Amino acid sequence: MYFKDHTYYNYYVNKPLEMIINIGWLSYEHFYEMGDTEPEFIEKLTEIIINDDFYDYKFNRIRCNTSCRLCKESILQPYINKKRNALMDMPLGFCELLIPSQVNNQYYASPGLILHYIRDHYYKPPQEYIDSVMALDLTQPFNAQDCFDFVRESNQVKLR
Ligand SMILES: [Zn+2]
């Protein structure tokens, strides 16, 4: 699914959600911003994706692993599962990420594959997205699915 950066979230809902902004929904048919990003940003984004214990920034999980829109590969992110004390693989194409904006009271919605787009396809997300990820306090609990459902229901937006 392709959405231009900074458009209102409109994925499987009956009308756009103005509180949720699309970031990083790339497609090979569309130009995207490229450039280097700081290793600290990639590290923090990885941390957010592989952890979902105390905080959980992932929502709209699906059972299959959607492949990359650019290289068509299924992307797995290796990580240490602390509960099982084992090296495991996290599929990046099975969920979306919801990041609270530091600029205003909106949220950014991205595919889990955004990590792969940044790291392997040199996608450079808008600076406000980078700043918002860097500003996240990972000592605080967060539940992306509850947050998304609340925004959707309070705006009387239904799932399609
Ligand atoms: Zn790819």
In a structure prediction context, what are the per-residue pLDDT tens digits for the chain, which is 160 residues long? 899 999 999 998 999 999 999 999 999 999 999 999 999 999 999 999 998 778 999 999 988 889 999 999 999 999 998 888 999 999 999 999 999 999 999 999 999 999 999 999 999 999 999 999 999 999 999 999 999 999 999 999 998 8
* pLDDT recorded at residue 63: 80
In a domain, 107, yes or no: yes
Q: Is 77 helix (H, G, I), strand (E, B) or coil?
A: strand
Q: How far does residue 59's CA lie from ligand 1's centre (Å)?
A: 21
Q: How far does residue 154's CA lie from ligand 1's centre (Å)?
A: 35
Q: How far does residue 115's CA lie from ligand 1's centre (Å)?
A: 10
In a domain, 17, yes or no: yes
In a domain, 159, yes or no: no
In a domain, 160, yes or no: no
Q: How far does residue 119's CA lie from ligand 1's centre (Å)?
A: 9
Q: How far does residue 67's CA lie from ligand 1's centre (Å)?
A: 8
Give which of 114, 113, 112 is closest to 130, Cα–Cα. Answer: 114
* pLDDT recorded at residue 87: 94
* pLDDT recorded at residue 82: 83
* pLDDT recorded at residue 83: 84
Strand order in the sheet with 96-100: 8-9, 17-22, 107-111, 96-100, 58-59
Q: Is 57 exposed, middle or buried (0-12, 13-18, 19+ CB in 10 A)?
A: buried
What backbone phi and psi angles, to 5 degrees, belong to 77? -105, 115
Q: How far does residue 109's CA lie from ligand 1's centre (Å)?
A: 19
In angstroms, how far is CA 54 from the centroid of its own chain? 17
In a domain, 3, yes or no: no
In a domain, 64, yes or no: yes
Strands (E) across 15-140 are located at 17-22, 55-56, 58-59, 76-81, 86-91, 96-100, 107-111
Percent helix / strand / coil, the chain, rounded to 5: 25, 25, 45
Our count of domains for the chain comes to 1
In a domain, 82, yes or no: yes
Q: Is 49 helix (H, G, I), strand (E, B) or coil?
A: helix
Residue ranges making up the domain that contains 135: 8-154
In a domain, 109, yes or no: yes
Paired tokens of 69: 């829109």
Q: How far does residue 76's CA lie from ligand 1's centre (Å)?
A: 11
